[in-house]
Structure 1
């Protein structure tokens, strides 16, 4: 048998060495490629049948065990009979960019990349691109050739072999219905390989991002997607893990209830060639906080397609629907414009029914006259057709509207992914910002389209109207979602919902207030009424006026999904520490404040008042080296660093 060994090299990079080893042998032999940055490794191998696999390691220990790769297409099978055709040189790439919304604004990441091309039995080519960096690894498929016919991917066999027994936090992927799939289910804490139990709605798989604590709980792994555009479907994970192997599953054919999609159209992804598919992302950390802070999803997303972003601004918004869901009168909308004025918020959102209240254009005119930027609700089907969408955006921009909340997408089909990209682009052309509701999870889109400010795809505070189990589970979920859903992109949780609804809240008022600073959203839509906000003590009112909607720097001080989270946040000269308790028991935290002592003389603590469910208490303390605090059951706190102790 003929053996060729090529190119053993090492390149200094960050914390270690970047090694490349290629063994090119005949088709019947095993072949490997290892891409390593001294910390995280992704390796490809072919077995004797020409079947492709990969493995992910950290510091030499396997996190994603040997897992399948490959595609079954209408024009060929790329799951067996493969042979290496070409291996590219190692390339260094640096992703240096600014975000309009995120845990940090300025991102600078070093990555290593390599591409391996394979031929199948009929000589057709498939390329696998590999990425390795400090925060994890990623891979994607490409068809580099350009034949005339449309290629259809009938099946993607990509798997993620976590292995049984790892702790997992997985969200059921709800089957198609009037309001599903919309990524609005609980994240279930289980062992990898366990069957699904008691989802909110009938379900057909697991959502991404999917979080795992692996390697005897020494490492954390988040499985996600990045860069999905109109050339592919949104993907989830199969419901049956087959011994801990979670496989990619496509959007279903019936995901079209709310959209004008052809009844007969097949849901399999299709494109002309060449064709580049989304990244499969494996974020890796030694702590859960490493996952929360990762930017790997946006690192891999296409760069901004908006040249001038000066008109795009994060901020806070008043919003009437949560407190007055059935009142669409001009007086209500005007009242919430006044609330935005009172709290120095930049935006107000006019939700469903706003057109009737705006017959004479008065609610829009009033907001603009008071310096408040109006955003308006819309129904997804009215923004699906490109020509109708462009026309509608022009009309809204001419009225002085600054953003759109488009609702009820309920589909991950390729047609929907394509329409969403059109929404971002066409809205940008009219200087409109975008908020998606009833929609899929973001996939790095807020880098590519900075006018994409936030999205639902989260079990938020509207669930106090609709989900009996929400009050009991809300605190726990609030400490899981920052490590899962919010890593994928900005999340419109609609925080500070204090008024008791159909299913009464169990979290404290301080917990609810803290969620507005725990979750990351380009525009924060506050949920409650003018009366509730007006009743807050001055310290809380001032906090709501001052707090930013996005951050220059974030650190995770405590990261225990399902139990507790404490973040340090900074924006310009403002510094905060925010914590919430995900359990029904007290939760003590110890925090080193020494780094703040040179800049601030004191800190203001906002926590629970005499009635923990509805009231706040505020006290000011000197900045000491170490601070210990016991969070109330389902409670929370906010530290606001100050120099004026009055």
Structure 2
């Protein structure tokens, strides 16, 4: 009788456990507050974990794998649900110093799913859903303090076969790679890597796709990467349209004093919280361009007083005078900054000798222009040397450092970059990274991180024969990809003809300074070019902001055209570019965008489209028609 009673209790317990597990399994999803975006998890009978993402119940990311293979535990199969947390709501209300829209106010839904493997070890999957998309991350909350390595992350993003998009090859390690300086290429889902500038070992993030029978757009990226994880990219093999996470390569060590390693696996003591895998979703490509989901998920600012962090513009001598490191040329560009009211001047490689000979920093300070200086990444890798160097530069009057040639996404480099931001902030120094990985929400956490390269910019007129033909197209793709991740140092306004002659019109090049978002805009060309500009264009340079209060996307067609409305204080602009080899007719209701203004100034192509500008003033109308020239552009400033 006693055995029968025990059997009944065990059976009853099993029933409740099974019922509870079933109930929790039914709750393995999270929807945004507006119910548009939803991420749903699934477990197979053998305990393999997957997910999908929908918008309005239409597939955005089809069933895709999840899981981690660690050196001490396996979380790729035999998983079961232990706990499903209640849905919690947070409000991300903050301001960005460098942004399309200054103020951010988003509501995010959160839920955590705790799973265990066959050995009883626990893994948590945190889910987030908001109006701009969804995200997830892995987390171990064990407090054992032992070191764990991740040998493989199964995470994939299944883009269905009828989808196309734009992706950038992730270059194999070399003296200048990976540096996120390749073309964004048009792809169909599952295409192999081809036509890269250098040998490639995968695809970069962000990656942009047009999905759901071309009714929706999605951008795949990551946020919140810190020193406990490498920067990640996507594997080259995407058969069936499944793009899987790949870690940094072990040989990414050409420019930094990094140790030889058999593997470059992520490693950390426990507890361990990993980066967010972000999936930005929009009905229009313009929704992607304006998204802040990446910074919404990043840690809040660690700098309490940000009053010293000031966006601005800079003259820069290297592009027009790459072999001239004399005090004379540096001072000439400082004077150019002063004459246009630019806050900054950038002294690139070779500046230290010029400063010893001609005190170029003192000259800049005497002109009321703040000096920025160039440095090599290895100078800023060792913690003690870095702090000493920052302190020395600050005492000299330097206000920011452009640190070049990182060329690695290894975990040690991600850690060093975080320390660079912090140590620079302690000395009130701004940071511009070059030859580097793309931002991952860091501009919110460390607002002194005002811009970064990680883009195929105008220096490519020196080095890349395909650049002139592809530049206009790229300029209409990058606002929806790289610039969504964070500020971008494209070095616009490169009019002087270089080794590979420019095909974009002069207005297209000028408009790029207002299409891209960068905390400091480093203008590429010479004093002679600036001096030859019409007065109205000179005034545009004086007025042009380096960040914006409000942006709206009027035309958003990656690879073809971009037209933006931009506003900063009392300044109101519409800026557009054509990325194609065909003229494009557009029609805009200027009364909608120029409320309160009676006239607008139009800057368009002059007689010599490569070098000249035409400036005319017109009354504001509700049906303004314009034809964008081949690889051309326009700038409208509303005036009274």
Relative distance call for 1:92 and 1:378 in structure 2 (3 A) is same
CA distance in structure 2 between the partners assigned to 1:401 and 1:117 by the alignment: 49
Which residue pairs with 1:422 in the alignment? 419
Q: Secondary structure at 2:356's aligned position in 1? A: coil
Among 14, 25, 28, the alignment partner of 1:33 is 28
Structure 2: distance between partners of 1:604 and 1:4: 73
Structure 1 counterpart of 2:474, from 477, 486, 509: 477
Match of 1:386 in 2: 383
State whether residues 23 and 33 of structure 1, in contact with CA within 8 Å, keep that contact through their aligned partners in structure 2.
Answer: no
Match of 2:96 among 81, 96, 99: 99
Q: Secondary structure of 2:181's match?
A: coil
Q: Is the contact made by 1:597 and 1:624 (CA closer than 8 Å) also made in structure 2?
A: no
DSSP-derived class of the 1:186 partner:
coil
Deviation of 1:217 (Å): 0.3
CA distances 1:465-523 after superposition (whole Å, capped 9, x unpaired)? 00000000000000000000000000000000000000000000000000000000000
> Aligned partners of 1:606 and 1:436: how far apart in 2?
32
- Match in the other structure for 1:158: 155
Question: Residue 335 of structure 1 aligns to a residue in which SS?
Answer: helix
Of residues 299, 314, 319, the one that matches 2:316 is: 319
2:193 to 191, 196, 203: 196
Residues 173-322 of structure 1: matches in 2 within 5 Å?
173-264=170-261, 266-322=263-319
- Deviating beyond 4 angstroms after TM superposition, the runs of 4 or more aligned structure 1 residues are 1-6, 29-32
What pairs with 1:35-114 in structure 2 (closer than 5 Å)? 35-37=30-32, 38-114=35-111
* Cα distance between partner residues in 1 of 2:593 and 2:114: 52
CA contact (8 A) 1:24 1:84 kept: yes
CA distance in 1, matches of 2:15, 2:366: 76
Shift of 1:597: 4.9
- Counterpart in the other structure of 1:635: 632
Name the structure 1 match of 2:498: 501
State the shift of 1:58 in Å: 0.3
Alignment of 1:480-491 (within 5 A): 480-491=477-488
What are the equivalent positions in structure 2 for 1:459-470 lying under 5 Å apart?
Answer: 459-470=456-467
1:586-616, Cα deviation, whole Å (9 max, x unpaired): 0111111123454111000001000000000
Deviations 1:88-134 (A, max 9, x none): 11100000001110101111001100000111111111100000000
Task: Tell me which residue corresponds to 1:440.
Answer: 437
Q: 1:64 to 1:596 in 2, by over 3 A?
A: closer
- For 1:585-596, list aligned pairs within 5 A: 585-596=582-593
1:302 Cα deviation from its structure 2 partner: 0.3
1:30 Cα deviation from its structure 2 partner: 6.6
Matched, 1:340 2:337: yes
In terms of mean alpha carbon deviation, does 587-596 or 380-389 score higher?
587-596
Q: How far apart, CA to CA, are the structure 1 residues paired with 2:237 and 2:572?
A: 45
User: Residue 561 of structure 2 contacts residue 576 of structure 2 at CA under 8 Å; is this kept in 1?
Assistant: yes
Query: Are the equivalent residues in 1 in contact too, given 2:491–2:523 (CA < 8 A)?
Result: yes
| Structure 2 residue 611 is the aligned partner of structure 1 residue 614 | yes
SS in structure 1 of the partner of residue 389 of structure 2: helix
CA contact (8 A) 2:145 2:271 kept: no
Who is 1:572 aligned against? Answer: 569
Distance 1:154 1:358 in 2: 48
Retained in 2: the 8 A contact 1:537–1:616? yes
Equivalent residue number for residue 8 of structure 2: none
Gaps of 5+ in 2: 1-10
1:64-89 per-residue CA deviation (whole Å, 9 max, x = no partner) reads 01100010001100111111111111
Contact 2:534/2:613 (8 A) holds in 1: yes
TM-score normalized with structure 1 length: 0.95
The answer as to whether partners of 1:31 and 1:45 remain within 8 angstroms in 2 is no
> Which blocks of at least 5 consecutive residues in structure 1 are unaligned?
7-21
C-alpha distance after superposition, 1:506-555 (max 9, x if no partner): 00000000000000000000000000011100010000000100000000
The whole-number CA distance in structure 1 between the counterparts of 2:212 and 2:320 is: 46
Q: TM-score, normalised by structure 2?
A: 0.96
Structure 1 residue 148 displacement after superposition: 3.0
- The corresponding residue for 1:139 is 136
Provide, for residues 286-314 of structure 1, a one-character-per-residue CA deviation record: whole Å limited to 9, x for no partner. 00000000000000000000011010000
Map of 2:489 onto structure 1: 492
What corresponds to 2:146 in structure 1? 149
CA distance in 2, matches of 1:145, 1:500: 59
Q: Which residue of 2 aligns with 1:11?
A: none
Match of 2:601 among 594, 604, 618: 604
